[in-house]
Structure 1
Amino acid sequence: MHELPLFVGLLALVTALAAAAERVRIASPIVLVLAGIAISLVPGLPNIALSPEVVILLFLPPLIYASAWNMSWADFKASFTPIFLLAFGLVIFTTVGVAWVAHTFVPGFSWPLAFVLGATVSTTDPIAGTAIIKQMGLPRRVVVILEGESLVNDGTGLVVYRYAVLAVTTGQFVLMEAGQDFLLSVVEGIAIGLGLAWLVRQVHKLTKETPVVETTLSFITPFAGYLLAEQWHVSGVLAVLSSGLYLTLRSSEYMSRRGHLETMGVWNVLTFLLNSTVFVLMGLQLREILFSNAQYSPGTLILYGTIVSLAVVIARFIWVFLIHYTPRLFISRYKHVLVPSLKLVVVVAWTGMRGVLSLATALALPLTLSNGSPFPYRGLIIFIVYCVIFVTLVLQGLALPFLIRTLNIKPDLQAEQNEIKLRIRLASLAIEHLEAEHSMNDEVSDEVLSVLKHKYEARIDRLRLRQGGNKRKNINESELRETRRIQLGIIQLEREEATRLRHTGEHDDEVLRSILFELDLEEGRLELEEK
């Protein structure tokens, strides 16, 4: 327990660095990797080690569930073919390619060990890549493909990883049996996840309008799915993945408004903390890992890490270009299986960052074999994985904006225009409803209708300005900006007064907290409309 204050302090430092990175528009995972390296250089810090089982259970289920929760099922289906080719085909291709490179160039690496390494670095974690791509305004299809790939390939890579580790620890591996077990593990894991998701949905219906319970259920679900699937010796990863996709698709049907908002806030914090914790732990263990590889010179370690990193990068380029161009040689209707232009193909090939999941699976390698002897080359595998993360996440991540500018890829404005059209449509629908359903209602005064209609007309005016077309005669940009400035000023005035009343204790604190929450929502809505 004496190490806990140190760990909390380091976590606070990493959080501050991530906040600073946000200001200079650098993706936080890049900062976390660099922070982990910096932590390892501080003399006198202890080595905080977790058992492999704890690493797997604490980090993988919630991170995979969070990724599934943030994925659009409609976008996923629309880009299913390229996602499937990357999430399954590329994972196998990378695993085999890296295994061959490791077996060939790293002395002592048996084929099972080489496949463990290949499976560990085969899955992408493009949080940094997609964050940069969104900032650069690239087509939505590119973002969806990269997010969908990282979501599904976690399941593929971790199932392959599981069988590779089993082959090393037990010394037994039969390809036919492993293939059958793989298929059963996939199907049964998905079935368990969907069954659990259906059950959770029914429970949510009973707890609607209880945000704390709704948030707690969302937190429990990934762990329950993973443990249940592992109890049946099937893929816990795919159970978590399938339950997350199902529940996010139905979330608006069974979750309350406030429950949904609070759940998203909790998961955003949890995901950041998990990512930060992994890299802090890695920094605290990196010196020990280097010590465990004392038989290798620093140059040799860097050489092995560089070779494997290049293999990962090259394998992705080869596969991405193959799936983009090969189908067109045989089927003329496949004009662009992946993305519509060569420039975007290069971006997809470049954006293959490895991150926290690769690191977590490396840390989760068993300490011993079934006969009690140490797991061979465990320290070297973890070091090589860290090198791959550094090359693909830090170096490629930092170079991605420069690559996009060099290729002269223009921002895609169509997605923003489509969003504006949708918001205008919804606001217009509200006005039509007011006129059709309430204009002749004696119980509703003309003043009330006028205020409500003005609210939606002002919203349409702001959207028209963003759209670039002044289609309403009463639109005036300066007046709208002044209106927004006044509204924000009033919100700030109300917030200050509510805060003062909380300090004086003149009114019920719970009521005041509810009012402050509503003011935050209103301010957020105004800021979103102005983007």
Structure 2
Amino acid sequence: MEHQIFLIGGAALVTMIAASVFARRTGVAAPLLLVGLGIAASYLPGAPGIELDPEWILAGVLPPLLYSSAVNLPLIDFRRNLRLISWLSVVMVIVSALVIGAVVNWLFPEISFPLAVALGAVVSPTDAVAATAVGRRVGLPPRVMAVLEGESLVNDASALVVLRSAVAGIAAASSFSLGRTAVEFGWAVLGAVVIGGVIGWLTVLLRQRLDDPVLNTTISFAVPFIAYFPAEELDASGVLAVVVAGLVTGGLGSRRFSARDRQTQSTTWTTINFILESGVFLAMGYQLPELVDAAQGDTTLGEITGLVLVVFGLLVVLRFVGLAGPALRDREETRELERARLDQFEQKLDSLTTDEEEEDARIAAARRRLARGRADIEFEEREPITTRGFMTIGWAGMRGVVTVAAAQTIPAGTEHRATVVLAAFLVALITLVLFGLTLPAVIRRMNFSGESPEDRRDAFRALLRHVGESAVDHLGPLEAQTIDGEPIDPQLVKKLKDRILPRVLAGIREVPTVRPDVVEQTMLLQMRYLEAMREALAAERSIGAYSSHTYRKVEAVLDDMEKRLEMS
């Protein structure tokens, strides 16, 4: 049996890699391909039955998957799209669960209202894996990608909280309290934000003090579980705590982790993410025959077909209706109101005069908030979500990992459980097939206009030049620099000013060699200016005048420079 498990695991890895390569060459979404291969594998002669405990998925697979996505999602993108992300991942998930529950209970009275709400909860959260994979290849606007990724991070928590309340209603003789659900949801969110934020901050501080990539990577493996289980024990949302911990780690890591640690973490978590996502979609297809067999004595083909079509139709209608509000909102009027408010705020700041250092610091912080507000307005004008963008977001409503795993957590012995679990699985499968196959064509038909390579290059150079100039302004002229209280040799100052420092500030990766007797001073000075450039980049990123892609590109250049200096 042990040899069989290793054989299955090895075959699964080979299948994942082959599916990924085939998907890249053909354009077929990899998750859809993996589900199909899983279904085919389940019908092979002698294929063993594999029973996956759904708790293993929810507590063992989902936390690292969410953490991996959260730590790589730029915090500035999440903040700027928070209103739309919250609407889709919280309000629409709750509304969808309740509407689906009410309609299913009305059309299929044998399915109790709490069980119907549980079905609505498990099919409500979207899975952005397939959508973002297609979007990156076809050219989906970065902001639409950020919305899809942010939605898929938060909606899992919303759905699982509603599911928890519905399951409690099933156990309590089919009673369901909307008020109790609201209170539980409020605590689940508040508790998760606090726990996830504290865990993320503490682990970043610990990893900052360790100069060992192996230990840092090991700690990063533990973070999602350290955040998940305490939150669940306190009846908060474990998955939301993981998301918050990931966002905090990603936001602070750009300043507090070394370039080597960031690169190691990125490579490691990308690999883990690939294996876990691919494995779950493969298992999702492999389980289909079992789910069909389990539901045969519980329902008829006509009943399950009707249930699946009703749920799927409601999901599609609710998603597009829910997006109509944000799409029709007068964004131009909103921007004008916000611009007027910022103008008033700026006038108030200009009228303030003080000689106290503490007050000056507060005014400086207020001016940074003002600059961030103006940058947000410019971002809205530069990268608006148009009607075509909302249409694409609506069409990217694929379901996946959470839907299948969460459905199977409905207590065994619940009447019509097998029907509900199979319906959830089939709804997820239909969305993967329908949306997964047609999304590339939809995106191409929308004919999105992306940022030109010239504009990206200009933005990159402008930001790099800005952080270089800020570093020089902060540190002062080279002639005034000292090392251990001693002034720098005049000849070295001249060489640094003429040859080396311009290359560092311009982000050019080549560093000329110097005489052995001045190597240490040269390295120290270059690292000093590099650190000042990092501080300037962090300050500029907090304002957000450039795109997250530009910030990542400049950070990559600084990381590369740091690694080269460390190896010199």
Deviates most, 184-193 or 291-300: 291-300
Shift of 1:430: 5.4
Q: Is the 8 A contact 1:124 1:353 kept in 2?
A: yes
Letter in 1 for 2:420: I
Q: Deviations over 1:304-326 (max 9, x none)?
A: 32332222112101111133226
Distance 2:420 2:223 in 1: 32
CA distance in 2, matches of 1:394, 1:124: 14
TM-score, normalization: structure 2? 0.72
Q: Using the alignment, how far apart are the partners of 1:384 and 1:71 within structure 2?
A: 32
Relative distance call for 1:440 and 1:307 in structure 2 (3 A) is farther
Aligned to 2:33: 31
- Please state whether the residue corresponding to 1:67 is helix, strand or coil: helix
Contact 1:121/1:388 (CA < 8 Å) preserved in 2? Answer: yes
Whole-angstrom CA distance in 1 between matches of 2:497 and 2:384? 50
Tell me if 1:307 matches 2:348: no
Following TM superposition, by how much is the alpha carbon of 1:180 offset from its aligned partner in structure 2, in angstroms? 1.9
- Which position in structure 1 is the counterpart of 2:118? 116
Deviations 1:387-436 (A, max 9, x none): 222222232122112112333x2331169724642245416865996997
1:200 partner letter: T
Q: After TM superposition, list the pairs within 5 Å mapping 1:153-164 onto structure 2.
A: 153-164=155-166
Tell me how far 1:447 sits from its aligned partner: 11
When residues 397 and 14 of structure 1 are mapped into structure 2, their CA distance, relative to the original with a 3 A threshold, is same
Relative to structure 1, is the Cα distance of residues 458 and 24 closer, same or farther in structure 2, using a 3 angstrom cutoff?
Answer: farther
Instruction: Kindly state the Cα deviation for residue 84 of structure 1 after the two structures are TM-superposed.
Output: 1.6
2:386 to 325, 336, 341: 341
Whole-Å Cα distance in 2 between the matches of residues 248 and 23 of structure 1? Answer: 31
Q: Which amino acid aligns with 2:134?
A: I
The letter of the residue matching 2:19 is L
Query: Aligned match of 2:459 in 412, 421, 427?
Result: 421
Residue 465 of structure 1 corresponds to none
* Cα distance in 1 between the residues matched to 2:146 and 2:242: 20
Task: Kindly state the Cα deviation for residue 154 of structure 1 after the two structures are TM-superposed.
Answer: 1.8
Distance in 1 between residues matched to 2:335 and 2:24, nearest whole Å:
45
1:397 and 2:436 correspond: yes
User: Structure 1 residues 43, 98: closer, same or farther in 2, change over 3 A?
Assistant: farther
Query: Are the equivalent residues in 1 in contact too, given 2:141–2:448 (CA < 8 A)?
Result: no
CA shift, 1:226, in A, is: 1.0
Instruction: Decide which of 395, 398, 415 is 1:350's aligned counterpart.
Output: 395
| Mapping for residues 265-280 of structure 1, pairs under 5 Å | 265-280=267-282
Number of the residue aligned with 1:72: 74
Q: Secondary structure at the match of 1:124?
A: coil
Please tell me whether the aligned partners of residues 204 and 255 of structure 1 are also in contact (alpha carbons under 8 angstroms): yes
Alpha-carbon distance between aligned partners in 2 of 1:72 and 1:220, rounded to the nearest angstrom: 21
Cα shift at 1:222: 0.8
Provide the C-alpha distance between the structure 2 equivalents of 1:385 and 1:12, rounded to a whole number of angstroms.
28
Q: Which residue is 1:378 aligned to?
A: 417
Structure 1 residues 90, 277: closer, same or farther in 2, change over 3 A? same
Checking the alignment, whether the CA contact within 8 Å between 1:73 and 1:245 is kept in structure 2 is yes
Question: Which amino acid is 2:191 matched to?
Answer: E
**Residues 316 and 349, structure 1, Cα contact 8 Å, conserved in 2:** yes
| Counterpart Cα distance in 2 of 1:446 and 1:330 | 55
Pick aligned residue for 1:198 from 195, 198, 201: 201
Deviation at 1:118, TM superposition (A): 0.6
Tell me the distance in 1 between the aligned counterparts of 2:120 and 2:451.
39
Q: What residue in structure 2 maps to residue 411 of structure 1?
A: 449
> What percent of counterpart residues are identical?
32
Alignment gaps of 5+ in structure 1: 369-373, 461-520, 526-531
For 2:455, the aligned partner's letter is: Q
Quick one: which of 322, 325, 331 aligns to 2:325? 322
**Is residue 327–residue 334 contact of structure 1 (8 Å, CA) maintained in 2?**
no
Equivalent position SS for 1:376: coil
Closer/same/farther in 2, CA of residues 109 and 275 from structure 1, 3 Å limit: same
TM-score scaled to structure 1, two decimals?
A: 0.76
Partner of 2:408: 363
Report if aligned partners of 1:102, 1:109 keep a CA contact under 8 Å in 2: yes
Q: What residue in structure 1 maps to residue 343 of structure 2?
A: none
On the 8 A contact 2:135/2:145 being kept in 1, the answer is: yes
Give the residue type in structure 1 aligned to 2:64. Answer: P
2:241 paired residue number: 239
Q: Deviations over 1:321-356 (max 9, x none)?
A: 133226789989699999543222211211112122
* C-alpha distance after superposition, 1:3-34 (max 9, x if no partner): 41224313322332122212223332222222
CA contact (8 A) 1:39 1:280 kept: no
1:496 — aligned with what? none
The offset of 1:215, in angstroms, is: 0.9
Deviations 1:157-214 (A, max 9, x none): 111111112222343543323322321222122211112222212211221x211111
Aligned length: 456
Q: What is the match of residue 185 of structure 1?
A: 188
SS in structure 2 of the partner of residue 442 of structure 1: helix
Deviations 1:68-92 (A, max 9, x none): 1121111111122212211212112
Check whether the contact 1:137–1:413 (CA below 8 A) recurs between aligned residues: no
Partners in 2 of 1:457 and 1:246 — Cα distance? Answer: 30
CA contact (8 A) 2:31 2:281 kept: no
Distance 1:240 1:332, change over 3 A: closer
Contact 2:161 2:237 in 1 (8 A): yes
**Cα gap change, 1:456/1:31 in structure 2, threshold over 3 Å: closer, same or farther?**
farther
Alpha-carbon separation, structure 2, partners of 1:132 and 1:446: 50
Aligned to 1:133: 135
Q: Which residue of 1 aligns with 2:90?
A: 88
CA separation in 2, counterparts of 1:304 and 1:334?
46
| 1:265–1:384 distance in 2 versus 1, CA, 3 Å | same
